[in-house]
Amino acid sequence: MDDVGYMTIALELAALGRGHTSPNPMVGAVVVDPNGRVVGKGFHEAVGKPHAEVMALQEAGAMANGATLYVTLEPCNHYGRTPPCTEAILTAGITRVVVAASDPNPDVAGGGSAYLENNGIGVTVGVCAPEARKLNEAFNKYIVTKTPFVVVKCAATLDGRIATRSGDSKWVSGEASRRFVHTLRHELDAIMVGIGTVVADDPSLTARMDAGDGKDPVRIILDTHLSISAEATLLHLDSTAETVVVCGFSVSDDKIARIRKEGVRVVTMESEKGLILLRPLMARLGKMGITSILIEGGSRIIGSAFREQIVDKLLFFFAPRILGGNDGTPICNGPGPELMKDAIRLRDLRVHRFGNDLMIEGYVD
């Protein structure tokens, strides 16, 4: 097996940490002895737990001496919640380190690799780099900008409607698509919807996984006038994740106090024409430690997100249905561009199938 093969194993290990490592990245590591045998494996399981390199080296034990370490992210060279992995690598007697992606943090990028090289260890960087960067796309943005990685998800008919003229939207997509969405909720830090979605659907916005081990996201509700009902399900959930209601500055203190009595965090933000401004909100949420957000709708929030240019990635599910007419709810509401040349362009497109639904995955150019 070559470097790519061993790194692929490390990437698969790293992915086992999905939904549990934030605000840390997902990292996997493999120790391979001089005969090509894998003698140690590890991945970062959760914040505060040992890093992947340490786990793999512990499993390898004495067999790490003279071996090669494959790791999906450049080993850290600083003290944080855990000691630097570079010291553990030196102590174990590793002679070569193969890295998929350099640390995206501009303050420390390259430091770990340089430290190892200065101590006589051979370092190769860039093996399976695109796969490693995609795995940690949310971390990579947050560590540089301190704002969340924003994913927009919607389910629509083939003619681009997310609800009928009466507002009915259950269900546009099939069961397989909805199961995948619960996986997304588990993997990302937060989920955001507008008050319109809360009124129409009274959702819980939890992560209901088949295995029963889903991690609920922080639930963010945009409610400019703080009109949410005290009976809304979102205000009375038995969940370890908090609910955050975002309202405008003009809302009275009495209204805010009423909602806070339900154990909900209320955040006041600037609004314009009845809509919370999303770009300053992203900076605020970043300061709260939220590294990734799934926007699930409705159409006004999705439209605002694209207009304010906060979207990094989209996941659009299209079901084999056609509503017809021009009075259903479109994916995006609000004014659009006059010219086609000004349309939002996407890159790195992929198409996935979930049952009879097709999901288009793409990144905003």
Q: Which residues are catalytic?
A: 53
Question: Which residue, among 98, 96, 100, 103, has the nearest Cα to 126 in the 3D structure?
Answer: 100
The rounded distance, in Å, linking the Cα atoms of 92 and 216 is 38
**DSSP 8-state assignment for residue 65:** T
Q: 4 φ, ψ to 5°?
A: -65, -40
CB burial string 179-211: b at 16+ within 10 A, e below: ebbeebbbbbbbbbbbbbbbebbebebbbeeee
Query: Tokens for 174?
Result: 């099939």
The rounded distance, in Å, linking the Cα atoms of 11 and 137 is 14
**Which residues, 6+ apart, have CB-to-CB distance to 291 below 8 Å?**
22, 23, 138, 139, 142, 148, 149, 189
**Which residues, 6+ apart, have CB-to-CB distance to 249 below 8 Å?**
268, 269, 270, 271
The rounded distance, in Å, linking the Cα atoms of 297 and 345 is 20
